[in-house]
Structure 1
Amino acid sequence: MTTSRRILGALAAAGATALVLSGCVAKADVAAGASFDVSSTDSACSVSGATAKSGTLVFDVANESSQTSEFYLLAEDGLRIVGEVENIAPSASRTLTVVAQPGTYYTLCKPGMVGDGVGKAEFTVTGDRVEVTGEDAEQKQQAVDLYAAFVKDQVGQLVPAVDTFVAAYESGDDDAARAQFPQVRAYYERIEPVAEALGDLDPRIDFREVDAVADGLDWTGFHRIEKDLWVPAQDALNADGETPAWQDWAPSTPEERAGYGDQLIADAQELYDYVHSDDFTTALEDQGIGGISNGAIALLDEVATGKISGEEDWWSGTDLYDFAANVEGSKMAFSLVQDFAASQGSEGKTLVSEIEDGYAALESALAKHGSLTDGFVAYSDLTEDDKREFTDLINALAEPLSQLTGTVLD
């Protein structure tokens, strides 16, 4: 039984109460001037304003660039991600809805979804902190506690699993390491947006080679180890589809394996320390209910931007494991806010029903190819029809899911 199912079972046993987070702000507050238009081009990120009062902020992002783009609201250090929308196709639009506390932030667009991005600009939020008030306060805090417990549980399982995985890798027991690789990653993939909010931690743990090269970073983490475990064939290409896999490449020496393995252990421990810190608790409370619903959206975006194309686990072909774990984490986050969304009248109930149907259809399609418990087929075994089915189902779920944050914040 997966951790997400265990926690969902606990929710059911606790009773059918509406579970939401802090930061519920009336729609009238949005209409009062907290809505911004964003234009993402190849060279600029133009936001229609640079200041707002604390509370619900809505950024309507239009991608006017020639590339798929992303939009970020960053914390004052310019590294931590407060909110994001990914995978915005050219000529398409997406909406980011967040609850922002007073402070200094930065807006940024990333055409092509790699590199440092363009148009980074300061964004100031004034006013008072948004506090939890009213009869829903207890349920909101319960949702915060449940989501924090889920994240801590996943990271708590990740750390020892990484230790065991690295021990096999460093000792040269590649068969054992290959068997463990997709299972270890599942713990991380369910809660990946938490690590993404910590600056360069996610790049150290989970960057693909092509991403590290594009950003000028040392390539470490799961995918660096993956390439050692699944040695590329002489005629193989890297994930960019152009560079020969053996160009400037040699399998790691035992000393290099020790370095990569020890770094992954240290990075997993850093993530563990963070999710058990006051900073993590404060971040959850500051982001409020929008933080959880945006996490559900971000995890589905992870599927759309890497797993569905087979580019994530380029050497091992274990993308469906990551795919399934992302979906589990996304559904878990959704489960904590769905009752509150459904309480927003008939439109909310319809939205929740559409999202539930979307998850069910996606899970059914995944089940045709295996499971996290029993294993999935290699990504190369999927037909073009299989990939097209997944793409259609992800797009069908992404549309109503993108409305979730705005609905629960009404």
Structure 2
Amino acid sequence: MGAIACAATALSISGCTQKDKGGDNAIQVTAADTTCDTSAKSVSAGQVTLKIENKGSKATEVEIVFPDDRIVSEKENIGPGTKYTLTAEVKAGSYEIACRPGMKGHGVRRKLEVSGGSTAKRDPRLDKAVAAYRQYAQDQADETVPRAETFAEAIKSGDLEAAKKAYAPSRVGWERTEPVAESFGDIDPKTDTRADGLEAGQKWTGWHRLEKALWQDKKIGSDEKTLADQLVTDLKDWQRRVGKAEITPTSMANGAKELLDEVATGKVTGEEDRYSHTDLVDFNGNVEGAQKAYELLKPAASKNDPALAKELDKQFAALDALLDKYRTTKGATDFVSYDKVTKGQRKELSDAVNALAEPLSKLAAAVVK
């Protein structure tokens, strides 16, 4: 790794520690196609703000990660020339700030040391929210595994129609808590990668590889049966590890925004479930997960920023009502096939997602005021 770039002001080269005007730890992160410059290599524990600017030619992802690649907080799809502010709550320890141009590979990384542990006493409502969300994430994983087993058994029995029927339900819990699943780094690439998202040399496994076999290839062979077993194994690994995930009020808030970004970049476009066209099931799962995180954080957010909470209530309700138009029944997976949704309807869905995403991006800052 190269030298850390400190901002050109009165920053100390030995510590490169910076505070923003609000008194919180603030780090300027300048991402490019081959570099990741940060204005600080050490900060105090507590609220840390990354003020990110992508000066490269590719969309990038910026993460705060543990040395073992567990993700503390992240922001995906930061486009060229785009700025974004990421707020995270970080405990004392050793971390890295990672920039991943093209959102692939290990990325360019810079070390970050977080020291001290004497931070302002946190609102007890936030501790309650974290505990409840951790249980929610575990519940979703616990519910996903048996559904994935049903999906796998249908594949192994060679029952194409039963496997198709079990595909979307097996994904709901994952989609609701995807940021937690992604925080481990190694599970998501094995379970939820699309063909165009593979790294060099990576074998395509997981849901979407099986989705292609069922809907496009219309056949189940020995490879698919092996892959079905592997999917269950990988999801059980996720299930065991959920309890070890790093969850904070800000990671919950940032995760809610990431779920909306997932909708905007994959579900609205029809790219996520391109063979089965079950995109609205995933879409709804992402929205439900984001709404759950918000509802748990709302007691603190509404105290600190009542106008924001009012706007979020309004936009979640509007998006929920719009999604209801595409339900065939009241079930969590009963939606019309996405290839039946017109271009104009997709634009309406996209507009509703964007209307929610903008205030949701302010939630992390609101809960730690």
TM-score by length of 1: 0.80
- Confirm whether residue 259 of structure 1 aligns to residue 226 of structure 2: yes
| Higher RCO (C-alpha under 8 Å, 6+ residues apart) | 1
In 2, the alpha carbon distance for the partners of 1:85 and 1:67 equals 14
Contact map agreement 1:297 1:402 (CA 8 A) in 2: yes
Q: Secondary structure at the match of 1:376?
A: coil
Residue 145 of structure 2 is matched in structure 1 by 159
Deviation at 1:130, TM superposition (A): 4.8
In 1, the alpha carbon distance for the partners of 2:295 and 2:162 equals 35
In 1, the alpha carbon distance for the partners of 2:130 and 2:161 equals 40
Q: Note the alpha carbon deviations across 1:309-356, whole angstroms, 9 max, x for none.
A: 111111111111100000000000000111211111xxx111111111
- Confirm whether residue 38 of structure 1 aligns to residue 19 of structure 2: no
In 1, the alpha carbon distance for the partners of 2:128 and 2:95 equals 28
Unaligned runs of 5+ in 1: 1-27, 234-250
In 1, the alpha carbon distance for the partners of 2:312 and 2:26 equals 25
Contact map agreement 2:158 2:220 (CA 8 A) in 1: no
In 2, the alpha carbon distance for the partners of 1:129 and 1:227 equals 52
Residue 25 of structure 1 is matched in structure 2 by none
Residue 337 of structure 2 is matched in structure 1 by 378
Residue 112 of structure 2 is matched in structure 1 by 123
Which has the larger helix fraction? 1
Residue 47 of structure 1 is matched in structure 2 by 38
In 2, the alpha carbon distance for the partners of 1:33 and 1:146 equals 26
Counting only pairs closer than 5 Å after superposition, residues 78-117 of structure 1 correspond to structure 2 as 79-117=69-107
Contact map agreement 1:304 1:394 (CA 8 A) in 2: yes
Please identify runs of 4+ aligned residues in structure 1 that moved more than 6 A: none
Unaligned runs of 5+ in 2: 1-18
- Confirm whether residue 223 of structure 1 aligns to residue 208 of structure 2: yes
Aligned-residue sequence identity (percent) comes to 37
Q: Note the alpha carbon deviations across 1:274-304, whole angstroms, 9 max, x for none.
A: 13x4x34xx23xxx21122122112112112
In 1, the alpha carbon distance for the partners of 2:115 and 2:21 equals 15
- Confirm whether residue 74 of structure 1 aligns to residue 65 of structure 2: yes
In 2, the alpha carbon distance for the partners of 1:175 and 1:106 equals 46
Residue 47 of structure 2 is matched in structure 1 by 56
Deviation at 1:160, TM superposition (A): 0.9
Residue 270 of structure 1 is matched in structure 2 by 237
Deviation at 1:173, TM superposition (A): 0.6
Deviation at 1:390, TM superposition (A): 1.8
Residue 171 of structure 1 is matched in structure 2 by 157
Residue 208 of structure 1 is matched in structure 2 by 194
Counting only pairs closer than 5 Å after superposition, residues 266-305 of structure 1 correspond to structure 2 as 266-275=233-242, 277=243, 279-280=244-245, 283-284=246-247, 288-305=248-265
In 2, the alpha carbon distance for the partners of 1:52 and 1:374 equals 45
Residue 356 of structure 1 is matched in structure 2 by 313
Query: Counterpart of 2:350 in structure 1: which amino acid?
Result: T
Q: Secondary structure at the match of 2:168?
A: helix
Deviation at 1:55, TM superposition (A): 0.8
- Confirm whether residue 143 of structure 1 aligns to residue 129 of structure 2: yes
In 2, the alpha carbon distance for the partners of 1:372 and 1:109 equals 39
Contact map agreement 2:322 2:349 (CA 8 A) in 1: yes
Query: Counterpart of 1:43 in structure 2: which amino acid?
Result: T
Moved more, 315-324 or 89-98: 89-98
Contact map agreement 2:155 2:220 (CA 8 A) in 1: no
Query: Counterpart of 2:174 in structure 1: which amino acid?
Result: Y
Q: How many residues align?
A: 349
Change beyond 3 A, Cα 1:68–1:339: same
Residue 185 of structure 2 is matched in structure 1 by 199
Once superposed, what is the RMSD of the aligned Cα atoms? 2.0
Contact map agreement 1:61 1:95 (CA 8 A) in 2: yes
Contact map agreement 2:168 2:333 (CA 8 A) in 1: no
In 2, the alpha carbon distance for the partners of 1:64 and 1:358 equals 32
